[in-house]
Amino acid sequence: MKKKLSALLGCVLLLNMISIPIPASAQTLTNDTKHYYEDWKETYLRQNPYVKDETQYYVFYGEKEYAEAHSTVEVTVSEAHGYGMLITALMSDYDSEAKNIFDGMYHYYLAHPSSIGSHLMAWQQSDNGKALVDSNGADSATDGDLDIAYALLLADKVWGSSGEINYRQAAELVIDDIMKYDVSHDDNILRLGDWAYDVDKNDKYYTATRASDFIMQYFPVFYEVTGDERWMQLYDNTYSIINHFVEKYQTGLLPDFIIKDSSGEWIPAPANFLENENDGVYEYNSCRVPWRISTDALVGKNEDAKKYAETVNAFIVKETGCNPEKIMAGYTPDGKAVADWDDLCFTAPLMLSAAASGDTKWHDTIRKEVLDIGVDSYFGNTIAMLCLITDDGGWLVPETTAAKLNGDVNNDGEFNVSDVVLFQKWLLAVPNVELKNWKAGDLCEDDRLDVFDMIAMRKHLIAGQSITKEIL
C-alpha cells in the first residue's frame, strides 16, 4: 500500500504541479447572458475616481455624470450596489476580474454606512466633483441591505472567507442589523428601511411595507446561517400577505406599498404615501416582484411562490395576448393599466414567472424580447441581467453552515486513507471519479484543489491516526 500511494504521489507531482480551481457553481451560462454581462459591466460599472488608497467600485444609476452636468449629481444607490455585488459574485465562474470588482464594491459599501444601522448601507450617494458623498439622508433601504447580505454569503461560497475579507462574518453582521432595524417585530414585516426603526406606532409608516422587498428565497437562507427563527416567522407572515393579495385580486399584481388598515387587513397604500400618486399600484417598485417571488419557486421550490407565479403569469398572458410589447409599465392590483408604454424592468421579471409556471412558449417569447431590447437603462438592464442569470440556472444558494476542512472528500463522515486515494485519483483526472465534498479537500484554504492540499491531507492523516504510519 505504501508503494502504491507513493507512486500516485509521484505521478501527481509530475503533472507540473497541477492546480484545479474549485468551481464556483455548476452553472452553464448561455452566450447571450455572457454578452449581456459584458455590455452591463462596460455601461454601468464605475470605479470611484476620488479614492486613492484603495479600489472602490459602484454601479452608476444616474443619467449624467459630474463632468457632464458640472454640478452635483446623484450617481448610485444601495439598491444598485446590492445588484452589482450579486451580479459580480454570480459571474465569478466567467469573469476573472470578478473577485477584484466584488472586493472593490465591498470597500465602497464600508465607506458609506447608514447613520442608523452601522452595518447597513446609506441609500444614496452623489458626486460633487471632489468626492462621492451620501445624499438625501444617510439611512438605508431594505432591498439594498438584503441583497448586500446575500451577496456576501455568495462571496463566501465562491471565494471562501480565509483571505483579506471575511465575507461570511461581514454577511452575518449585515443580517443581524437587518433583523434589528429593517424588520418590524410587532407585525413580522419588512420595514421600508432602517429609518422606520423608531417611528411612532401612530405614524403612517409604522405598519408599511414595500412589496419589492419580498425577496423570499433569502429568508430561509438567513435562518440557516444565523439560527434566528424570526427569519422563518418573517417568511411565513410575508407569504400570508402575498397570498392575501393573490386571492383577493386574482392577478398577482402587488402594489408598490402595502399598509395595514384599522381592521388589520393588508391593503394598497394611498396615493402619494411615500413617492408618488401610484404608490398603491403595481409600478416601478413592484415590477420586480415576479422576479423576486418566482425565484423562490424556481430555487426554493416553495408552493406559495409557484401559486403566485402562476397567477401573475395567467393574468399577463390574457392581458397581452402573448405579445410582450403589450406588457404595460404599471397596473392597478385588479389589472387595469395605468400606463400606455412598456418598459424592460416590467418585462424581464415576467420571464421568470413564466418559467416557474412551466409556460415555455411564453417564457421564450419574453426572453427574446429582453435580449432584443439591448442597452436601455440602469434599472431595466440590471434587473434583466439578474433575471437572465437566474433563467440560465446560474442563481446560487450560499453555504449555510461553515465548511469543515477535514479531508473527508468522500463525505462518509470520517477521514481515512480512502479519502487520500480518492483525492489523488481526482487530481489525476481518473474517469468517473468525483469528490462528494470538495471543500473538505481545500486544506490550504486558498480556494483551489492542488497537490499542496493532497500533501497537507497526507500529513493530516498521519498526524490524526496512529495506524496511518504503518499503512503509508
Would you say 291 and 390 are in contact if contact means Cβ atoms under 8 Å apart? yes
DSSP annotation string for 222-265 = HHHHH--THHHHHHHHHHHHHHHHHHHHSS----SEEEE-TTS-
Beta bridge partners of 268: 258
- Residue 133 to residues 46, 67, 120, 226, 378, Cα–Cα distance (Å): 15, 16, 16, 32, 20
> How many other C-beta atoms can be found within 10 angstroms of the C-beta atom of residue 335?
16
Strands (E), 23-88: 45-47, 57-59, 73-77
Largest CA distance in the chain: 80
Q: Which of 143, 256, 419, 450 is catalytic?
A: 143
Catalytic site includes residue 143: yes
With the CA atoms of 115, 117, 119 and 123 taken in that order, what torsion angle do they form, in degrees rounded to the nearest 10? -60
What are 232's three cell numbers?
422563518
Closest CA to 112 of 81, 89, 156: 81
The answer for 322, left when phi > 0, alpha when psi is -120 to 50, beta otherwise, is left
What are 472's three cell numbers?
503509508
Q: Which residue has the cell 431594505?
A: 142
Give the integer Cα–Cα distance in Å for 383 and 82.
Answer: 11
Would you say 3 and 433 are in contact if contact means Cβ atoms under 8 Å apart? no
- Residue 373 to residues 34, 299, 346, Cα–Cα distance (Å): 16, 27, 13
CA neighbours closer than 13 Å in the CB half-sphere of residue 96: 1
> How many other C-beta atoms can be found within 10 angstroms of the C-beta atom of residue 29?
20
For the annotated catalytic residues, the residue numbers are: 143
